[in-house]
Amino acid sequence: MTSTKPGIIRRLFGAMWALITWIRTALANIIFIVIALIIFFAFSSQHVAQMPADTALRLNISGLLVDQYSYTAPLTQIMAQSSPEQAETRVRDVVEVLKRARDDKRINSVVLELQHLRGGGLSKLQEIGTAIEAFKSSGKPVLAISDNYTQDQYYLASHADEIHLNPMGAVLVTGYSSYRYYYKDILDKLSLNYHVFRAGTYKDAVEPYLQNEMSEASREHNSLWLNDLWQTYTEQVEVARNLKAGTLNDYINNIDQHLAQAGGDTASLALRLGLVDDINSNTNLRNRMIKRYGEKEGQYRALNHLDYLAFTNAEQPKYEHNIGLLTASGMILDGEQPEGTIGSSTLSTLIRDARADKSIKALVLRIDSGGGSAFASEVIRQELQATRDQGIPVIVSMGSVAASGGYWIAMASDEVWATPTTITGSIGVFSAFPTFEKSLTKLGIHTDGLGTTDLAGSLRLDRELSPLAANVLQQGVTHVYRKFLNIVAEARKTTPERVDTMAQGRVWTGKAAQQLGLVDQLGSLDDAIAASAQYANLNNYGVKEIRKALTPQEQFAQELARGLNGGVSLASADSAWLIQLKTLFKPLLGSTDFSKAELDPKRIQILCLECAAH
């Protein structure tokens, strides 16, 4: 074949067209930026120019409580302005705001607006509750207002001096539970073979594919941590509200009798039992709040907590020495991942960045994860160990969940902190995937061919799994479990045999885990930060958050979104049931490419599915 060089006229017109395309694209981008800047400054001009004095702090805690905001695409950040409530609220922001406001004379009180809080786990609620109690020590009042109070909302409200409820509202406390769908019958009807390989008697993540009901082993260990959480919840709420021990259990278990005595009026029942302090219609409450705090744009005068955080950030001192703070939140996956998910490459890069920062003298890793890929967990653990080898102390702070893979990465630390209600442990391993050969046969589809070895084509999803492949997969899972036991044993200064007696996939609360020697201390993130300062011999230090750098486009979109929404940072969040479905199926289904066989160690999971909802 031969090629001829385009003529000069063709090349000239091509160059002209390329120039026109470039100019058109550049103009479109400039117009977009100009319009965006006009919108941004128009909204920004409405903001208060300076920190107001003698004002209430409005804690509008909404969405899910998280340790790290989930990544939201720039365009979504700009367009998702239909609701003023956040999809997520970062716990550290709330705790830091309360800490600063405690001694700030410009703040006279705190108002908890809890109506849009969706939950986030007892551990996160406890950290905010502790911060509320610390704020109250200043003598400033805390009020809680909502039309209704769900279980999580009521926990925070119980720490307030006054709880206000709508006349049509209720305190909706029910207790903790763990229910899942089980699929064995439908898998049988569809002729699907689900192949499961696991190490750990209590590693029940795969049970829904093997049977139609919870096993006795699963029922045993889940009841322990669920009852532990509920006992903690009821004791702390009853103490905060000066209620008689057993009040909440009596309220729930005899709710029908209590309601009959109250004529079916849930609000008056809550008031009679001392669960709330006052009942007010929205109009009456608004008028009372305006009378108490002053009026601004038809509402009571108050400063949003994120605005207060922005005001006071500029007032914080600069330090020569810092504690580095990293957050590992979400499922652990291989490679690069956005915030809200833990990517082995992404987090490893951030750990290396912390090591390279000469101002960082110790590193605190906040873990809020039920695990994921064993391979990715080990990559992260090795990077943390390299940090310790360089002489930089590493302290782990466990959030609501640090189980399975989350516990694996915690083992590369000088000290492990958990809250009393952290869900941890789940030291066990599994791998699972379906094959469809029987389903396809019923449809009249058959697979045939040949391979050069006994393993060639043995993991196709349209073929029966061979005994050789099954044996190899089980040995891989068993090997990873033994490695898990050895890592824990070395970190906790014990033997693999002793770890095995506590492992087998069991889930523990932080309190129980400390008694077993699986964690060192009980306390909050701030406690872990203080401990890291002691390891580094620091008395005067700052906290430096280490985050994945945003691109210029992402930074611009984020600032524009904040401007459009009154300074509130937006983050996306799926509904709770959708999150559970994604968590359940993502690690189990694996590749659906029928043509590829995978004996890949990256398929082996150290994941705690029952931890996801707590």
| 253 and 305 both lie in a single domain | yes
In the predicted model, what is the mean pLDDT of residues 46-61? 77
Answer whether residue 83 shows pLDDT above 50. no
Q: What is the pLDDT of residue 19?
A: 78
Strands of 193-199's sheet, edge to edge?
A: 193-199, 429-435, 605-607, 371-373, 332-333, 342-343
Is 30 among the domain residues? no
In the predicted model, what is the mean pLDDT of residues 463-478? 90
555/365: higher pLDDT: 365
| 362 and 291 both lie in a single domain | no
Is 199 among the domain residues? no
Q: Kindly give the pairing relationship between strand 394-403 and strand 342-343.
A: unpaired
Residue type at position 50:
Q
| 158 and 282 both lie in a single domain | yes
In angstroms, rounded to a whole number, what is the distance separating the alpha carbons of residues 304 and 328? 27
| 306 and 336 both lie in a single domain | no
The chain-wide mean pLDDT, for the chain, equals 85
Q: What is the pLDDT of residue 555?
A: 57
User: If phi over 0 gives left and psi between -120 and 50 gives alpha, with beta otherwise, what is residue 330?
Assistant: left
Q: Which of 5-9, 121-125, 278-282, 474-478 has the lowest mean pLDDT?
A: 5-9
In angstroms, rounded to a whole number, what is the distance separating the alpha carbons of residues 152 and 132? 15
Is 473 among the domain residues? yes
Name the pLDDT band for 381 (thresholds 50, 70, 90): very high
In the predicted model, what is the mean pLDDT of residues 420-447? 90
Answer whether residue 507 shows pLDDT above 60. yes
DSSP state of 569: P
Q: What is the pLDDT of residue 599?
A: 54
Answer whether residue 573 shows pLDDT above 50. no
Answer whether residue 578 shows pLDDT above 50. no
Answer whether residue 367 shows pLDDT above 80. yes
Domain ends where: 286, 313, 340?
A: 313
DSSP state of 494: S
Domain ends where: 313, 338, 373?
A: 313
In the predicted model, what is the mean pLDDT of residues 343-347? 95
Answer whether residue 349 shows pLDDT above 50. yes
Is 501 among the domain residues? yes
In angstroms, rounded to a whole number, what is the distance separating the alpha carbons of residues 570 and 580? 22
| 326 and 426 both lie in a single domain | yes
| 244 and 279 both lie in a single domain | yes
Q: Kindly give the pairing relationship between strand 299-300 and strand 360-369.
A: unpaired
Q: What is the pLDDT of residue 142?
A: 97
Q: What is the pLDDT of residue 600?
A: 57
| 84 and 231 both lie in a single domain | yes
In angstroms, rounded to a whole number, what is the distance separating the alpha carbons of residues 64 and 60? 12
Q: What is the pLDDT of residue 82?
A: 42
Name the pLDDT band for 49 (thresholds 50, 70, 90): low
In the predicted model, what is the mean pLDDT of residues 31-53? 60
Domain ends where: 313, 330, 347?
A: 313
Q: What is the pLDDT of residue 560?
A: 53
Share of the chain above pLDDT 70, in %: 83
Answer whether residue 443 shows pLDDT above 70. yes
Answer whether residue 199 shows pLDDT above 90. no
In the predicted model, what is the mean pLDDT of residues 147-162? 96
Q: What is the pLDDT of residue 554?
A: 55
Is 239 among the domain residues? yes
In angstroms, rounded to a whole number, what is the distance separating the alpha carbons of residues 288 and 387? 55
For 58, the token pair is 């409005």
Q: Do 330 and 71 meet the contact criterion of CB atoms below 8 Å apart? A: no
238/436: higher pLDDT: 238
Share of the chain above pLDDT 90, in %: 62
Is 551 among the domain residues? no
In the predicted model, what is the mean pLDDT of residues 519-537? 96
Is 286 among the domain residues? yes
Q: What is the pLDDT of residue 52?
A: 82
Answer whether residue 17 shows pLDDT above 60. yes
Name the pLDDT band for 513 (thresholds 50, 70, 90): very high
Domain count, the chain: 2
| CATH number of the CATH domain containing 343 | 3.90.226.10
DSSP state of 334: S
Q: What is the pLDDT of residue 42?
A: 52
In the predicted model, what is the mean pLDDT of residues 393-406? 96
Dihedral of CA atoms 587, 588, 590, 596 in degrees, nearest 10, equals: 140
Is 572 among the domain residues? no
Residue type at position 327:
T
Q: Which of 20-24, 270-274, 421-425 has the lowest mean pLDDT?
A: 20-24
Domain ranges, residue 140: 55-177+221-313
CA angle, corner 536, sides to 534 and 539, nearest 5? 60
Going by C-alpha positions, the residue among 497, 499, 530, 531 that lies closest to residue 516 is: 499
Name the pLDDT band for 591 (thresholds 50, 70, 90): very low
Name the pLDDT band for 344 (thresholds 50, 70, 90): very high
| 280 and 384 both lie in a single domain | no
Q: Which residues are catalytic?
A: 203, 404
Going by C-alpha positions, the residue among 72, 574, 580, 529 that lies closest to residue 321 is: 529
CA angle, corner 198, sides to 196 and 200, nearest 5? 145
| 303 and 328 both lie in a single domain | no
Q: What is the pLDDT of residue 577?
A: 39
Q: What is the pLDDT of residue 569?
A: 35
In the predicted model, what is the mean pLDDT of residues 510-522? 96
Q: What is the pLDDT of residue 309?
A: 92
| 284 and 333 both lie in a single domain | no
Answer whether residue 18 shows pLDDT above 70. yes
In angstroms, rounded to a whole number, what is the distance separating the alpha carbons of residues 263 and 318? 60
| Strands in 94-192 per DSSP E | 107-113, 117-119, 142-146, 149-150, 162-165, 171-172
| 162 and 290 both lie in a single domain | yes
Answer whether residue 558 shows pLDDT above 90. no
For 538, the token pair is 């620091």
Name the pLDDT band for 593 (thresholds 50, 70, 90): very low
Q: Do 285 and 278 meet the contact criterion of CB atoms below 8 Å apart? A: no
| 81 and 155 both lie in a single domain | yes
Q: Biggest alpha carbon distance in the chain?
A: 96
